[in-house]
């Protein structure tokens, strides 16, 4: 791998890593969501530093160039991240639905209690 490519890849990985840690530190990203992002950064870093591993993987999956292997895994990671978010969104949708129902039920309860009170007075 040309040294220019290597430096660039390492730089990108380090920036990603730092940004994620910083987001978690500022509480803008919850820890539970950060692990996949961190894994992406670490994976990228390992593959660029340990060139022989990259070449071995490239040979194993039958890719022509080590760079395509990097892109390929990059895409896989992005897909996994999206899937991870889709499951979270589904869960959130359910929770928001349950909350909305609870609010509506409580509102009805309050209304009937007030009516009952008015009748008594």
Partner 1 sequence: MEKTLVIIPVYNEEEKILSVIEDINKKTHGMDILVVNDGSADKTESVLEHSGVRVINLPYHLGYGVALQTGYKYALEKGYDYVIQMDGDGQHDSGSIKDLLREVRSGGIDVAIGSRFLSNKKYRTSLPRKLGMKLFGSIASLIMGQKVTDPTSGFQALNRRAIKFYGSDIFPCDYPDADAIIMLHRAGFRIKEVPVIMHYDNRSKSMHHGLGICYYIFKMFLSIFVTLLREKSTKEEI
**Binding residues for partner 1, per CB under 8 A?**
94, 97-98, 100-101, 103-105, 107-108, 112
Q: How far is the CB of 117 from partner 1 (least distance, A)?
A: 17
Q: Which of 43, 42, 44, 38 is closest to 19 using CA atoms?
A: 38
Would you say 82 or 98 has its CB closer to partner 1? 98
Q: How far is the CB of 82 from partner 1 (least distance, A)?
A: 19
For residues 40 and 77, the answer to whether their CB atoms sit within 8 Å is: yes
Would you say 53 or 105 has its CB closer to partner 1? 105
Distance CA 93, CA 1 (A): 46
Q: How far is the CB of 45 from partner 1 (least distance, A)?
A: 39
For residues 72 and 63, the answer to whether their CB atoms sit within 8 Å is: yes
100-109: long-range pairs with CB below 8 Å, 24+: none
Would you say 87 or 98 has its CB closer to partner 1? 98
Would you say 42 or 96 has its CB closer to partner 1? 96
Q: Which of 15, 66, 21, 19 is closest to 45 using CA atoms?
A: 15
Q: How far is the CB of 94 from partner 1 (least distance, A)?
A: 7
């Amino acid at each position: 791998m040309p040294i220019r490519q290597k430096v660039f890849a390492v730089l990108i990985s380090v920036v990603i890593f730092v940004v994620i840690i910083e987001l978690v530190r500022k509480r803008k990203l919850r820890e539970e969501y950060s692990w996949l992002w961190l894994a992406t950064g670490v994976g990228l870093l390992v593959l660029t530093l340990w060139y022989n591993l990259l070449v071995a993987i490239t040979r194993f999956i039958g890719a022509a160039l080590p760079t395509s292997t990097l892109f390929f895994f990059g895409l896989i990671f992005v897909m996994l991240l999206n899937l991870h978010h889709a499951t979270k969104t589904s869960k959130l949708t359910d929770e928001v639905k349950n909350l909305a129902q609870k609010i509506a039920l409580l509102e009805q309860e309050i209304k009937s209690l007030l009516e009952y009170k008015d009748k008594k007075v």
